[in-house]
Structure 1
Amino acid sequence: MSNVSSLPDTSPANSVAGDALPDSWLDTLVGYALRRAQLKVFQHLVGNLAEHDLRPAQFTAMVIIDNEPGLMQADLARQLAIEPPQLVPLLNKLESRGLAQRVRGVQDKRAYGVFLTKAGIALLGQLKAIAVASDEAATAALDDDERNQLLRLLHKVNG
């Protein structure tokens, strides 16, 4: 598969450079600028993940599971900001590919912990490298200080 994504091209016709005035009233809104930037960043990542038949939510779940092996499904759903029923098809996909497994809880037989398999751990290493390269490509217009400042500001907005 190619790196081409079906996401819309978010590059403005007359790009705003440096201290140039915004092209429209929408360009003065932080939320609008964040969404356009998010689309641009995802264009890079989505195409690369698609080569591995994965979507960003599945990649994110794998990272979270890797950080917290045995995490309960309900807690994983909370960290992904989705409802638990929405998590089921995501985990089904990871399990069917042999990347993750659910293990019944010892104390609560109704609860399942989620673990990455050896194959999942190996693939995640590759995916993290892809994510870093995609992130760097999407933010190539920024120098290191600007990129770090952007990350600090985004973390501040996220609270």
Structure 2
Amino acid sequence: MAKRQPSNLAEPLDMPTEPVLDTSLDDLIGYAMRRAQLKVFQHLVNKLAVHDLRPAQFSAMAIIDQNPGLMQADLARALAIEPPQLVPLLNKLEARALAVRVRCKPDKRSYGIFLSKTGEQLLKDLKQVAAESDIESTSALDDAERETLLHLLRKVYRES
């Protein structure tokens, strides 16, 4: 039985009603993390689609907000993407007047990136949307479990 496709990108996909067929890998942490990540990520994708944004654009805005004047290469590194992939992302943010690239005086080839006032306001709203999406997509967890999960995930990705 196939899942129903949403008629609107903001409408969540129905969860399958048939039994789960891929439990043979459930004991692998990476597999469980990926399955959970897909569920949480798709929920956020649907919520951000209402604002005509993708998660990478939202992440970029949050990083820029925290680091005004950040260089493009540094933003690409923070997003874990190649610098050429960053250009269309920034073009979209600039086209919507959410961010601006400002040429640096010492090095005329470099650009610092800043959020516009519109971008700052939208980011404030989007952070609330993301927080609500996080809670909704992890509703099977209580607050203590959510905190424990966050603690453990941070421990995994921050250790080298």
* TM-score (normalizing by structure 1): 0.88
Once the 2 structures are TM-superposed, how far is the Cα of residue 24 of structure 1 from its aligned partner?
A: 2.5
User: Match for 2:140: what amino acid?
Assistant: A
Runs of 4+ aligned residues of structure 1 deviating over 6 Å after TM superposition are: none
Give, in whole Å, the separation in 1 of the partners of 2:57 and 2:147.
26
SS at match of 2:59: helix
Please say if residues 3 and 47 of structure 1, whose CA atoms lie closer than 8 Å, have aligned partners that are also in contact: yes
Q: How many residues align?
A: 151
RMSD: 2.0
Once the 2 structures are TM-superposed, how far is the Cα of residue 5 of structure 1 from its aligned partner?
A: 5.2
Once the 2 structures are TM-superposed, how far is the Cα of residue 25 of structure 1 from its aligned partner?
A: 2.2
Structure 1 residues 151 and 13, CA gap change in structure 2 (3 angstroms): farther
Give, in whole Å, the separation in 1 of the partners of 2:60 and 2:18.
35
Corresponding residue of 1:88: 87
Corresponding residue of 1:123: 122
Once the 2 structures are TM-superposed, how far is the Cα of residue 132 of structure 1 from its aligned partner?
A: 0.4
Q: Does residue 1:4 correspond to 2:15, yes or no?
A: no
User: Match for 1:84: what amino acid?
Assistant: P
SS at match of 1:123: helix
Corresponding residue of 1:78: 77
Q: After superposition, where does 1:1-159 map in structure 2 within 5 Å? A: 1=8, 3-4=10-11, 9=15, 13-14=18-19, 24-158=23-157, 159=159
| Unpaired runs of at least 5, structure 1 | 16-22
Give, in whole Å, the separation in 2 of the partners of 1:37 and 1:3.
19
Q: Cα deviations across residues 102-125 of structure 1 (Å, max 9, x unaligned)? A: 000111111100000000001011
Corresponding residue of 1:18: none
Give, in whole Å, the separation in 2 of the partners of 1:114 and 1:12.
46
Give, in whole Å, the separation in 1 of the partners of 2:57 and 2:100.
13
User: Match for 1:71: what amino acid?
Assistant: L
Q: Cα deviations across residues 7-43 of structure 1 (Å, max 9, x unaligned)? A: x95x68447xxxxxxx732111111111110111112
Q: Percent identity?
A: 63
Once the 2 structures are TM-superposed, how far is the Cα of residue 44 of structure 1 from its aligned partner?
A: 1.5
Please say which of residues 43-52 and 92-101 is displaced more in the overlay: 43-52
| Unpaired runs of at least 5, structure 2 | 1-7
